[in-house]
């Protein structure tokens, strides 16, 4: 059985979507594959996000991840937009939802920790919905 491909999408692909890609690999890689992308890129993943994910989960996002555009992604089954506060990039898919997350960039460490914990929770809920058949991908 092929794994479902989930794309985490926001404009710059440097913070929330990167956190979601890393945390999906950590918590849900048995159910779906994670990708992240945006319409623009940054030279580096947000360094505060890198530091917080490393501290909380012992994951080095810079080891396997980099900022990329959505045209670098494979065909995606589920698109999760992160809450771009602008027009999020469009990507064809079978299921789409928006997690409406505020961008913690430029904010205190607590904002990054809170964002990471929300993403972790949303990933676990998404995993459960897929396993229980609430979200069906053909």
Residues 6+ positions from 89 with CB-CB distance below 8 Å: 9, 10, 11, 37, 38, 39, 70, 81
Reference 9, options 81, 74, 99, 85; nearest CA is 81
Q: Could you report the per-residue pLDDT of 31-63, keeping only the tens digit for each?
A: 999 999 998 899 999 999 999 999 999 999 999
Pairwise CA distance, residues 54 & 120, whole Å: 14
Please give the pLDDT value at position 80. Answer: 95
pLDDT of residue 91: 86
Asked whether the predicted pLDDT for residue 18 surpasses 90, the reply is yes
Q: State residue 86's pLDDT score.
A: 60
What percent of the chain is modeled with pLDDT above 90? Answer: 85
- Asked, for residue 136, whether it belongs to a domain, the answer is no
> Does residue 51 belong to any structural domain of this protein?
yes
User: Is residue 137 included in any domain, yes or no?
Assistant: no
Query: Tens digit of pLDDT for each residue in 107-130?
Result: 999 999 999 999 999 999 999 999
Q: Is residue 138 part of a domain?
A: no
H/E stretch holding 8 reads strand 4-9
The pLDDT, as a whole number, for residue 85 is 63
Which residues, including other chains, have CB under 8 Å from residue 92's CB and lie 6 or more apart? 75, 76
In tens, the pLDDT along 77-103 reads: 999 999 866 666 678 999 999 999 999
- The total domain count for the chain is 1
Mean pLDDT of the chain: 93
How much is the pLDDT for 1? 60
Q: How confident is the model at residue 109, as a pLDDT?
A: 96
Cα distance between residue 30 and residue 28, in whole Å: 5
Q: Which residue has the tokens 């913690």?
A: 104
The single-letter DSSP state of residue 70 is G
Show the domain range for 25. Answer: 4-131
Distance CA 117, CA 21 (A): 14
**Stated pTM of the model:** 0.94
91's CB contacts (< 8 A; 6+ apart) are 7, 9, 37, 70, 73, 76, 79
Question: Does residue 82 lie within any of the structural domains?
Answer: yes
CATH of the domain at 71: 3.40.50.2300
Half-sphere exposure (Cβ direction) of 31: Cα atoms closer than 13 Å: 21
Within a domain: 30: yes
């Amino acid at each position: 059985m092929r794994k479902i491909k989930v794309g985490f999408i926001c404009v710059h692909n440097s913070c929330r979507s990167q956190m979601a890609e890393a945390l999906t690999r950590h918590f849900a890689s048995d159910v779906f594959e994670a990708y992240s992308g945006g319409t623009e890129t940054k030279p580096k993943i947000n360094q505060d996000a890198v530091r917080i994910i490393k501290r909380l989960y012992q994951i080095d996002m810079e080891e396997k991840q980099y900022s990329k555009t959505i045209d670098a992604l494979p065909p995606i089954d589920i698109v999760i937009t992160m809450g771009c506060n602008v027009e999020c990039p469009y990507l064809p898919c079978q299921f789409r939802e928006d997690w409406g997350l505020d961008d913690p960039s430029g904010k205190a460490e607590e904002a990054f920790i809170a964002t990471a914990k929300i993403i972790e929770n949303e990933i676990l809920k998404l995993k459960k919905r897929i396993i229980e058949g609430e979200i069906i991908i053909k």
